[in-house]
Amino acid sequence: MASCRGVNVTQPAVRSSLLILQGVVFAVALDIVDKALAPGLSLAVFYVIPAAVAAWFGNGLLGAAVGVLMTSAWTEADAFDQLYDFQHPWFLVWNGAIHFAFVLIVVYLLRSLRHSLDDARRLASTDPLTGLPNRRTFQVATQIELDRNQVLTMLYMDVDGFKNVNDSQGHTAGDTLLIQIARELQASMRAQDVLARLGGDEFAVLLPGMTSEEGVGLANRMREGLDRAMVRYGWPVSFSVGVLTVQGAGGRFDVLLHHADAQMYAAKRSGKARCVAETIEASAS
């Protein structure tokens, strides 16, 4: 039996086609309405809207392409109303060019605003150095999982010897080290896992649906893989990991993070380069 699939409007090609289509529909509709109005009544602002929509939800090129459609309809409507002395047809050409320039300015300003908003949103949710989710994003993701999962595991990781790298090789070397650690960790993540940099040399991993035994096993494999990578890159560091498993729905992020942090420091006190685990009930958090 054949199945029906919805159109995914998030795909660039589909979105571009829809934005061009809305430009064509608006151009035709406005041309009809404009010609039906008394000469001198202006619909100027409505000719700009489809290009603005295309620029905002698509890109500058799409905005300009729709702008050509709208400017053509706009100029043709003006010609129909005989607003210009046709002994001087270049008046119509000049004003058509001015209309298009106005649309392009709107497209440019909207694209600049969209870029600024996207950058602000990205900075609010990601760590600028590694590109990983930041603490705020990790908190939101963790709280969502806490409210709906019966079991989840959180890894809290600290880089042993990171301060020595910064002190001896400089902060640029320290930044390079953190970027390489992030890349190594990302390679071992499942699709549903959330890896974040919480700040400094501390990373956290959210593992929905993972038991304590599975979490400890993964933490040790990740730590051993990082150790091999650090030897390969020549970094004199190791990793201490706190493993916290939460059973039952509910719980508060800050309490859970405190427990995971405590296990990480327990690993450090035990000699570093190891994992220490704890399991708690969500109701206790």
Question: What is the DSSP secondary-structure string of 82-99?
Answer: T-S-TTSTHHHHHHHHHH
Q: Rounded to the nearest 5°, which phi and psi values hold at 55?
A: -70, -40
- Residue 4 confidence (pLDDT): 45
* CB proximity list for 271: less than 8 A, separation 6 or greater: none
Tell me the average pLDDT of the chain. 85
For domain 135-284, is the CATH number 3.30.70.270? yes
Q: What is the pLDDT of residue 60?
A: 86
Q: End-to-end CA distance of the chain, in Å?
A: 50
DSSP states of the chain: --------TTSHHHHHHHHHHHHHHHHHHHHHHHHHSPTT---HHHHHHHHHHHHHHT-HHHHHHHHHHHHHHHHHHHHHTT-S-TTSTHHHHHHHHHHHHHHHHHHHHHHHHHHHHHHHHHHHHB-TTT-SB-HHHHHHHHHHHHHH-SEEEEEEEEEETHHHHHHHH-HHHHHHHHHHHHHHHHTT--TT-EEEEEETTEEEEEEET--HHHHHHHHHHHHHHHHHHHHHHT---EEEEEEEEEESS---HHHHHHHHHHHHHHHHHTTSSSEEEEEEEGGG-
The token duo for 212 is: 């304590």
pLDDT of res. 78: 72
pLDDT at 8: 55
Q: Provide the pLDDT for residue 2.
A: 43
Task: State both tokens at 45.
Answer: 């602002």
> Cα–Cα distance between 28 and 47 in angstroms, integer?
11
According to the model, what pLDDT value does residue 88 have?
A: 64
261 as an active site residue: the answer is no
Q: Which of 25, 110, 26 is nearest to 64 (CA)?
A: 110
pLDDT score at 284 = 59
- pTM exceeding the 0.85 threshold for the entire prediction: no
- pLDDT score for 50: 87
Domain boundaries, the chain: 12-125, 135-284
Q: Which of 183, 158, 189, 176 is nearest to 234 (CA)?
A: 176
**pLDDT tens string 221-255:** 999 999 999 999 999 999 999 999 998 777 788 88
Q: What pLDDT sits at residue 1?
A: 40
Place of tokens 């930044």: 175
Q: Which residues of the chain have pLDDT under 50?
A: 1-7, 9
Which of 201, 227, 254, 261 is catalytic? The answer is 201
